A and B are shown apart, each in its own frame.
Chain A
């Protein structure tokens, strides 16, 4: 049954105009067809002989239905020609808006397809193909939200999606099974905690460490349980390294004058104050003054903003046998060299005695790290989260130095090494800051500095 009009889906054979056995010419009317849109005679598709009718007069059939068989005498089998060719003769191929016929849509020729890539892509599902490459490592927003809400460690799930992807349904099924309520192994808990502390980074933070296998001890190995302090240090270091893109810079400083000054004033100071005069208060003094020149160094990253701290609270790294403490000298800019010396001695003593209070270790805005104390000549410190930078003062060593007049002199030299959060700080400002520290340290000499 040919399609006799737009939107017409069926037709009724009104009357056969030929009989089985009749010879018919191409285009000769063979039947009257009635539809609700038009009434028309339909022509023979080929010269040939009518073999039989498949549809009787008065019967309504869908477009595309076989209505008659004819023999075309062209040597092909007796029954083949009529159905596919008849509709074509009246203006178009068999209408196949649904059903299996649509699957037979001929593929466009390769040349045509290549010439029109955009429309082809437009009708496809390109994004899903791309996502396939991501495999199980990528989680959808729905999966991430469910995992967070239910405290689920996603590596424990087996994905049923494309390429093993964990689907929302996988997580929902996992929750429904009650498995999420079981306690996770210790390592997983820690990672979960780290992820929970920093929701913004959870997606990247949690799967990455979990991917490396946990080392197993051999028989002769010593195993030290990780205590709370060590774990806290680990977390803080990890957090700093994960969140703050570290950059590093170093500058040599000639502290010959400072060394002489300490030699000159050291004995008198110890007699008067009861504690040794250390280099550290001079370092701190130079730092706080430089911070006042470059206040951006005394700042913190806060996601959508940078906070420049008003108070200058200097954290000082204090090493103990087993740990690292970083107590804070509050308002360090208000103290004299002597006052700083006392503060450092007090905090270091209490740190080594394990007597620091919470107050002692919080609120720092910049860290001074006296790595020279144990002979380091160069170090790349990890920034004390959430501060913007940390400055290490390395060992003072006598070094031959080419002076301004090209003479070679033996000078007391010290490297200062700075790690900076490159989100906040750039090289130029840090260079200026280090120059400010350096010029002060090089300026320290007898008569130029007041201890009180």
Chain B
């Protein structure tokens, strides 16, 4: 059960996209998200699909793997689809009891569902092609200019790194505590939702206590290794932006420009 959690899932294939500067990848993903909201007709989606498909092909991540990532969001997409199809006023196509389906509603529903699907596919491509460390590094660098207005860029990145570092450790510990409590007669699997939630107490309390102890010890170990925040800190791996990164960035810019033009003209 615990093995199914795949936060920050990374699918290494060593493709050109994997090797890109994470900062550029984050910026392009951002441009991509913005362009999805610029689109206001189906013609615009042709550009988006072309961009997304070529990115997926270059990344060598199997498209079925990306589509699998949509599964947990199917409910959300379904609800959005329903709301749009039934709630939009306009020319009625047919009635279904108290519900009416309009032409505009149908159009809007398909349009919105596609937008969500493209959004999830595009952003998951970012995490699939970027290792968590590269991602945190990229975020830190991108947020750096905002330090002056009080954005704790380094602290945020450090928090993410530590969180990622401790996911496997805490999962292992959860598993251990669970087994220990089961051996003492705890029941995590039967009963209704409320009794199951109550059953989690003997799991969560020890887990919380040990997490605090770990945090305490980690903080001391970090201090012992001269950690004093982001000031004057250097990095072993420095990020480098190469020619192909700028090329990719210009394509991303081109996409958003094309979509703006498309929106104004059509």
- The finding on whether chains A and B are genuine partners in a shared complex, rather than unrelated, reads no
